[in-house]
Chains A and B, each alone.
Chain A
Amino acid sequence: MTRTLALALTLVASPALADVPNALTTHLLPGFHAFSTASTALAASARQDCRAEAVQPAYQAAFDAWMAVGDLRIGPSEQGALSIAFWPDDRGFTGRTLSRMIAASDPAVNDPATFAEVSIAARGFFALDMLLYDPAFAYEPGSYPCTLVQAVAEDLAAQAEALETTWAGKFTEALTNPGAPDNALYLTEEEALRAVYTQLLAGLEMTADSRLGRPMGSFERPRPRLAEAWRSGRSLRNVVLSVEAAQALAHALADWDLPQTDAAVAQVHFAAGNIDDGSFQDVTDAVHRLHLEALQQAVRAVRAALEIEIGERLGIAPGFNSQDGD
């Protein structure tokens, strides 16, 4: 009965009203604010006690907060996300850069402005993932790595604050004033909407292809060490949080129900429940690998549901040139 009523309401609903301003005020801007608050707490924690086990809880909390907005790659996040979450890192830039800085006792750690200029690979969450969790980087209080942890945390807090400020200011301006004379980023409302919508798809694609696909590798050659944040045990958690973030943004963007999307997200939770190792290090086992595959399919199903429930409804097709180069 309820379902029939809901269906009837959908059918008589006025043309789809997707609402970028609503997505900003109810999901995006609060998300960046929460991330900034959590990063400030992380910096304070590191300042107070730089030992790995003391900093780890605030690191985990800040990473959780980041995941609510971390898959966005538009506006200030296009560039900003890279120095906050430098991953994937196939060439091992992060480990190499950190080792080099430690070996040379790089004085950049003593000045925030100088530290903001170091390689993006040595900044943000993935530097901390290594410094706080990799035994190869174990350190004592008062040592150089201890100061390095404090500098990375401090820099992350500054980045989070800058990101929040630019999102709330200049970029909200660009998204909500398409077609303004000085706005060459978004020429129409549809373009702004499309920009936010495509972030949903891209984030889920990244989760399926990289967060899951990289450690899965091929059946003959799984690559557990390519899992995201496996040292800090966040690989599975990040998959689930990224899907939940996409779901929340989708609901903030659409003023209609998204039953297929919600059902697909429920499947993601179910599939995630079957996975034993939150770091995906058991992917080398065929049975465990199957569970990852099921999770990957569930994530792709969320993407497909969004394409139907939002993309098709708004008539947004994939990019003409980006899909097909030459």
Chain B
Amino acid sequence: MIRRRAFLASLLAAGAAPSLSWADAGSPAYLAAAREGDGGFALFGLDRGGASTFRVPLPARGHAGAGHPTRAEAVAFARRPGAYALVLDCVQGAVLHRLTPPEGRQFNGHGVYAQGGAVLFTAEQASADSAGVVGVWDVEAGYRRIGEFATGGIGPHDLRLMPDARTLVVANGGIATDPTDRTKLNIPQMRPNLSYLDLTGALLDQVELAPDLHRNSIRHLALRDDGLVGFAMQWEGDEGAATPLLGLHRRGASPLLAEAPLGDELLMRGYAGSIAFAGDGAELAISSPRGGRLHRFSDGGDFLGAVPRADVCGLASLDAGYLASDGLGGLIAVTPEGARALARHPVAWDNHIVALAGGTRPF
């Protein structure tokens, strides 16, 4: 453990090698994967007006990604069960590295850079029993696998770097899946949690929900600069249960569950696909492609309203509101005053929009 910590510190000291910056890739504020009209897949850079700044073809459907904090370099993760991730040069459109998880591990769709971009952390699970693992990759050494540690739960999905830059927060979804497909194996026993780990893997804090909500899979995360964590959930219990799908947590305090009025909650169909804070941090939103709507909440958990849009899923911070993407190609700016279409691309946007450093907020 100590050796790894010393090693990480030395990486930080080394700093990033000079390379092409995001400005060379057209200064995108966001990354988003999509299926194109011809059935192929690609990763796009988007500016704050919804225009595409670059496009890199992908060999298959992507899920989420992570942007390097300084270099025009992005990791695109395959969908679960992920056998690979691609490190892309977003200026040249070239594949720089192909990351493969070690034997017995699979990527779970999300990852995050840390230590100024010297290290990449990936959300993974053990193929055998879905035990959660954070994979550690040495970016400067050409994305070499240098270690791993436990996430403190089953089936982790999203993970983020806290604003202190020294703590990871992981959404352990709690669902064990078949290693060859996505069949869920343990729904009656699932126990999701939110775990805080230091960068060497020491478990600092762990939050579970009340027992009657043990089927509420904690899957996606959004962070505010002051350390407030929003978590979005997906209900694996009976349809129509109308359980809360958004939680707010601050380390050292109890989680707060944010509920919409019954009618609105039912329309979400027990499913939140993405989560983001508004650009000014005053509120946050979750999206439901199944319900074709997004829900806005105050940072105190009060319901602020719904915005309808078919097949909406991707969400990121934009100004005093959000950028929302959907399967019809739409990029919609949502503010407290209403929704406005920014652009419509001839693609189907995938589940997530990733905000880049220098974009709305760094991660």
Contacts and interface: CB of A to CB of B under 8 A. Distances in A.
Interface of A: 73-74, 78-79, 82-83, 88-91, 93, 119-121, 179, 181-185, 187-188, 191, 194-195, 198, 319-322, 325-326
B105 to A, nearest CB: 18
B310 A194 contact: yes
Contacts of B292: 322
B311 A321 contact: yes
Contacts of A90: 238-241
Nearest to B61: A324
Contacts of B348: 320-321
Interface residues of B, number: 45
Nearest to A180: B341
A120 B234 contact: no
B273 A325 contact: yes
A198 B348 CA distance: 17
A79 B267 contact: yes
Specify which of A74, A182, A191 lies most central, judged by the most chain B CB atoms within 10 Å of its CB. A191
B310 A191 contact: yes
A321 B240 contact: no
B148 interface: no
**Chain A interface main SS type:** loop
A205 B140 CA distance: 53
Interface stretch (B8-16, B221-229, B250-258, B323-331): B323-331
A319 B327 contact: yes
Interface in B262-313: 262-264, 266-267, 271, 273, 289-290, 292-293, 306-313
Interface stretch (B83-91, B199-207, B332-340, B355-363): B332-340
Contact of A326 (B79, B267, B330): B79
A88 B240 contact: yes
A89 B259 CA distance: 19
B35 A320 contact: yes
Given A90-B239, A325-B351, 9 more contacts: A90-B241, A179-B341, A184-B340, A184-B341, A187-B341, A198-B310, A320-B35, A320-B327, A321-B312
A100 B348 CA distance: 47
Given A90-B238, A187-B330, A322 B311 contact: yes
A160 B193 CA distance: 44
Contact of A319 (B263, B311, B350): B311
B351 A326 contact: yes
A90 B238 CA distance: 9
A82 B79 contact: no
B63 interface: yes
B290 A322 contact: yes
Contacts of B339: 184-185
Interface string B13-26: 00000000000000
19 contacts: A78-B293, A82-B266, A90-B238, A120-B262, A120-B263, A187-B328, A187-B344, A191-B310, A191-B328, A194-B310, A319-B310, A319-B327, A320-B349, A321-B311, A321-B313, A321-B327, A325-B289, A326-B63, A326-B80
Contacts of A321: 273, 289, 311-313, 326-327, 348-351
Interface string B144-179: 000000000000010000000000000000000000
Contacts of A93: 262
A78 B307 CA distance: 11
B308 A185 contact: yes
A318 B311 CA distance: 10
Nearest to A322: B289
Nearest to A186: B310
A198 B290 CA distance: 12
Given A82-B266, A184-B332, A325 B240 contact: no
B261 to A, nearest CB: 8
A314 to B, nearest CB: 14
B181 to A, nearest CB: 13
B109 interface: yes
A78 B271 CA distance: 17
A198 B292 CA distance: 12
Contacts of A188: 344
Contacts of B263: 79, 82-83, 120
